[in-house]
Structure 1
Amino acid sequence: MNRMDYYYNDDAPKPLKIVPAVSAVVLHKEKEILLQERIDNGKWSLPGGNVEPGETVEDAIKREVKEETGIDIVVKHLIGVYSDPNHVIAYQDGEVRQQFSLCFLCEKIGGIVAASNESKKVEFVSISELDTLDIHITQKIRIKDALSGNSKAFIR
């Protein structure tokens, strides 16, 4: 694994930077959610990634979802801002960052589900089956927030 997530862990390395990132909750018929099984840590996750220079966050989430899953989306609204300093991500190359992610509720408008060089599998998973998958707690929080029906964005 070339990525290690620490969450409220006293043994976590100290973050060296904060990198703006985005993630997407893409629902299908309100019964399924788009997830990918990541190559870098082996866990199931929402699609997403870093915002690149010159991109808006909307451009970034559309690009990341397409690259990682093959799906085209439209962004509906912001679910929340996730910046808990107790969520530290360490990469094999020595980068250590504090999580900072904007998560959006999105809708599929096209494309075909396909794995990428970042994912082992990509699937629309039944919401009732989420507890059977190995999903990091921070991803579960975003999914729970998205499914809550709250009309205001969460700030966590």
Structure 2
Amino acid sequence: MNTSLQILPAVAAIVFNDAGEVLLQKRRDVDQWGIISGHVEFGETVEEAIKREIKEETNSKAIILRLIGVYSSPASQTYRYGDRTVQYVTSYFEAIIEEKIDLDFFNQETAALEFFNIDNMPVDMAQINPYWLSDALSKEQKVFLR
């Protein structure tokens, strides 16, 4: 097996505030904005993983509202890191934060947190599935498989 090619489980979540704005995290590793996301660690479920990621990256506890979809398309889920290439299979959720988010919070992963109007997203967005916003806003009661 070529160890430079990997398939890994991942999680992501969209969080809206009461005004319908989307919470984005400015990631320190790529210096770009993106939704809360991360890897599933050995021994945890995808639900546990996204709750952990939200806590680590926002310092706030979350409640999962629904599974939006599972994303595995090589076109949008493949990332290149130096000498290795990873295709992520991402479970994507909608979550709400149980407490007020401290927008001044930062740590080794999070450079900044900010809510953005869906019509005025930052231009420096990290690579993301092209359907992330439309699927989250969809009124269809279904799970998307992309």
TM bin (shorter chain): 0.7 to 0.9
Any idea what SS the aligned residue of 1:110 has? coil
Corresponding residue for residue 115 of structure 2: 124
The code of the aligned residue for 1:20 comes to P
Corresponding residue for residue 22 of structure 1: 11
Q: TM-score, normalised by structure 1?
A: 0.81
Any idea what SS the aligned residue of 2:139 has? coil
Consecutive unaligned residues in structure 2, runs of 5 or more: none
Separation in 1, partners of 2:28, 2:93: 23
Separation in 1, partners of 2:37, 2:5: 21
- Asked if 1:97 corresponds to 2:86, the answer is yes
Shift of 1:66: 0.9
Corresponding residue for residue 110 of structure 1: 99
Any idea what SS the aligned residue of 2:11 has? strand
Q: Deviations over 1:107-138 (max 9, x none)?
A: 111253322211221112222322x4322463
Corresponding residue for residue 133 of structure 1: 123
Correspondence list, 1:59-74, <5 A: 59-74=48-63
Any idea what SS the aligned residue of 1:60 has? helix
Correspondence list, 1:26-105, <5 A: 26-87=15-76, 88-92=78-82, 94-105=83-94
Consecutive unaligned residues in structure 1, runs of 5 or more: 1-14
Separation in 2, partners of 1:139, 1:44: 14
Would you say how many aligned residue pairs link Structure 1 and Structure 2?
141
Shift of 1:23: 0.3
Kept after mapping to 2: 8 A contact 1:25/1:106: yes
Q: TM-score, normalised by structure 2?
A: 0.86
Q: Deviations over 1:71-106 (max 9, x none)?
A: 2110011111110112321224x3320121110011
Separation in 1, partners of 2:60, 2:97: 7
Query: Cα–Cα, structure 1 residues 111 and 30, in superposed 2: closer, same or farther, change >3 Å?
Result: closer
Two-structure CA RMSD over aligned residues (Å): 2.0
Query: Cα–Cα, structure 1 residues 139 and 43, in superposed 2: closer, same or farther, change >3 Å?
Result: farther
Any idea what SS the aligned residue of 1:44 has? strand
Kept after mapping to 1: 8 A contact 2:30/2:126: no
Kept after mapping to 2: 8 A contact 1:82/1:155: yes
